[in-house]
Amino acid sequence: MTGMKYPPLNAFKEPMLSWYKERPEQYELDRVRMEEIMPIKKKDSEKYKEYYSLINAWSDSWATSEPITEPPELSDFKIGSNNKIGDPRPFKSPAHASKLIKKVAHHFGATMVGITTIEPDWHYDYKLRGSKEKGTYKIPKHWKFVIAFGIPHQWEQVNSNPNLATSFDAYARATIAARRLETFIKSLGYPARRHSPNDGYDMIGVPYLVKAGLGEQGRNGIVITPEAGANFRTAFITTSLEMEIDQPIDFGVEKFCESCQICAELCPSGSISKADNNHETKTRGYRHWEINATSCFNYWMQSQGGLGCRLCLVACPYSRKANWVHTMARKADSADPTGIVAKGLTSMQKGLFDAPEAHEYLPPPDGEYANFRQPPEWLDVKNYLDVEALSPSKKI
């Protein structure tokens, strides 16, 4: 079998010509590759393509990452900027599909993964990424399932909120996992679109996380999971790939939040509701704890270092490190229908784990840019840089 004819030596121009003349064995190797190896590879790739479906999808996943510049009807059906996705590889069953997707998502770095179906109420009613049209739109027909996943922040840095911490570590990891997973699904022949921190979302994440069984919505407005509490960031994939879906979970967080107000008491901008329950506030018919997003964001703009504030995330008792003490406490709370354990744990949390008061996190003169905890050693300027570093706070 012969493939593409490799150009004769005298067809090359300088400096390639001299390079080949000095190394005739290299010319021969290149010629053999193009004329003999590649045709066999092409033929065998076609012959064995099904056998290598998954490893090729896995490989493509790590190799590609294109920005979203077209509407879902176009971009969701392409790998890279031009290659149309192939025919869908049939799965043995939806259960096999969800099992594989979850495994692969874990390998891409997604710590917690759940799968659910599309809910039109939970999409922004304005514009889809890549689309030039603005205004009300219909959910693309191929968006049938949602893969929701969460990735925790690095533990030590997130604890030194709000002024010596960031979300970008988990943002980046979630984005990378979403890009990889999107390509993996497309490589198996199914349209897919990622919704991630660095690429943007066409959806609201919290209700999908709840519906996909990752956790429950907490007083702080974000989802609290059994594994990492509220300490995580999310990304999603919308796709037509039929998978077995997960069910919402109830491990007692809603009840816990009714008695615990630690996040609301600690919030520097007072943006978190101190209401007895979340029965009153509804958006599009779905009840939730009320958050004043604007005053929250205004405090974001006041904080130093790393941009933003995640105090309500780190102060949540469910976000505490998953060692045996906290795991036991969380399980005891989940198993107690009376709420007595929740009250006891909240009191212990307040009594044992001291933290600056809400106003102390503010800029001077009301506060002193305090942090929830000391920064890790590797984020402490005086340990590594030879600079005059003026600390605004006695707490750090």
Of 96-104, 251-259, 283-291, 351-359, which segment contacts another protein by CB under 8 A? Answer: 351-359
If binding is defined by CB under 8 A, does position 353 make contact with another protein? yes
Of 76-84, 144-152, 221-229, 317-325, which segment contacts another protein by CB under 8 A? Answer: 317-325
If binding is defined by CB under 8 A, does position 352 make contact with another protein? yes
Of 65-73, 208-216, 221-229, 347-355, which segment contacts another protein by CB under 8 A? Answer: 347-355
If binding is defined by CB under 8 A, does position 233 make contact with another protein? no
Reported in sequence order, the residue ranges of the chain that DSSP labels E, i.e. its strands, are 78-79, 83-84, 112-117, 145-151, 192-195, 216-217, 223-224, 233-239, 282-283, 286-287
Q: Indicate the pairing of strand 145-151 with strand 282-283.
A: unpaired
The Cα 391–Cα 164 span in angstroms is 11
The Cα 307–Cα 262 span in angstroms is 22
| 204 or 332: CB nearest another protein | 332
Size of the site for another protein (CB under 8 A): 13
Binds another protein by CB under 8 A, chosen from 354, 386, 390, 394: 354
- Measured torsion, CA atoms of residues 327, 333, 336, 337, in degrees rounded to the nearest 10: -140
The Cα 99–Cα 26 span in angstroms is 47
If binding is defined by CB under 8 A, does position 347 make contact with another protein? no
Is there a contact between 97 and 115 (Cβ–Cβ < 8 Å)? no
Of 53-61, 74-82, 322-330, 378-386, which segment contacts another protein by CB under 8 A? Answer: 322-330
Helix axis angle for 94-107 and 53-63, nearest 10°, is 40
If binding is defined by CB under 8 A, does position 159 make contact with another protein? yes
If binding is defined by CB under 8 A, does position 16 make contact with another protein? no
Residue given tokens 């790739």 in the structure block: 45
Q: How far is the CB of 348 from another protein (least distance, A)?
A: 9
If binding is defined by CB under 8 A, does position 323 make contact with another protein? yes
Task: Map residue 276 onto helix, strand or coil.
Answer: coil
Of 9-17, 35-43, 144-152, 348-356, which segment contacts another protein by CB under 8 A? Answer: 348-356
The Cα 214–Cα 210 span in angstroms is 6
The site map against another protein for 271-310 (x = CB under 8 A) is ----------------------------------------
If binding is defined by CB under 8 A, does position 319 make contact with another protein? no
Binds another protein by CB under 8 A, chosen from 274, 321, 359, 382: 321
Q: How far is the CB of 350 from another protein (least distance, A)?
A: 11
Sign of CA dihedral 128, 133, 134, 138: negative
Of 286, 185, 171, 199, the C-alpha closest to 238 is 185
Asked if the bond preceding 268 is cis, omega within 30° of 0, the reply is no
Q: Indicate the pairing of strand 192-195 with strand 83-84.
A: unpaired
| 324 or 378: CB nearest another protein | 324
| 159 or 303: CB nearest another protein | 159
Which residues contact another protein by CB under 8 A? 156, 159, 320-321, 323-325, 351-354, 373-374
